[in-house]
């Protein structure tokens, strides 16, 4: 039996939706084991919005999804520290994640990590983003 391929996916996973599930299913197809790094509440606040769901709950929900072998909490300061610990063969980046793949590869290379970084294709769905879901809820509330 050959070497098992370990895939790492990352995200906030606030208000789980079909786009998240598609991202994780497609990530899992890239290898044998999928480890998902869930952003901390502090990271979400700094980079996106006030989280709706606390980090421990988001992590538990992600861990329970079928494609996911393990979910872990990321680090707030050094994002690549978790990569050093997990040692993935592949990092799957969602189509809408604002990450520069070349920059990621360069940072990992500086640390002596040879990791393939893959951007997944877009999944077309009406409510494929947490902010879209929040916006729709607000709009419906206004109509009442």
What is the tens place of the pLDDT at every residue in 34-89?
Answer: 999 999 999 999 988 899 999 999 999 999 999 999 999 999 988 889 999 999 99
Residues 107-131, mean pLDDT to the nearest whole number: 80
**pLDDT of 128 over the 70 cut:** no
DSSP state of 38: E
Residue 18 lies in a domain: yes
Q: What pLDDT is attached to residue 115?
A: 94
* Cβ-based neighbours of 88, under 8 Å, separated by 6 or more: 6, 7, 8, 35, 115
* Cβ-based neighbours of 136, under 8 Å, separated by 6 or more: 127
For 69-94, give the DSSP string: SEEEE--SS-HHHHHHHH--SEEEE-
Residues 83-96, mean pLDDT to the nearest whole number: 93
Tell me the average pLDDT of the chain: 88
Yes or no: say if 87 and 6 are a contact pair by the CB < 8 Å rule. Answer: yes
Residues 92-111, mean pLDDT to the nearest whole number: 87
Domain count, the chain: 1
Residue 1 lies in a domain: no
* CATH code (residue 68): 3.40.50.620
**Domain range holding 40?**
6-143
Residue 13 lies in a domain: yes
Q: What pLDDT is attached to residue 124?
A: 67
Strand order in the sheet with 70-73: 70-73, 33-38, 6-11, 90-93, 116-119
Q: How large is the angle between the packed helices 79-86 and 101-110, nearest 10 degrees? A: 70
């Amino acid at each position: 039996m050959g070497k098992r391929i370990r895939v790492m996916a990352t995200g906030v996973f606030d208000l789980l939706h079909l786009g998240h599930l598609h991202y994780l299913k497609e990530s899992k197809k890239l290898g044998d084991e999928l480890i998902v790094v869930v952003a901390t509440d502090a990271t979400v606040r700094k980079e996106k919005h006030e989280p709706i769901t606390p980090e421990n709950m988001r992590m538990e929900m992600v861990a329970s999804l079928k494609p996911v072998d393990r979910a872990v909490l990321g680090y707030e300061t050094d994002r690549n520290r978790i990569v050093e610990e997990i040692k993935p063969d592949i990092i799957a980046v969602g189509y809408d994640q604002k990450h520069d793949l070349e920059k990621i590869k360069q940072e990992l290379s500086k640390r002596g990590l040879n990791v393939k970084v893959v951007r997944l294709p877009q999944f077309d769905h009406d409510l494929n983003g947490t902010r879209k879901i929040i916006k729709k809820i607000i709009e419906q509330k206004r109509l009442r």
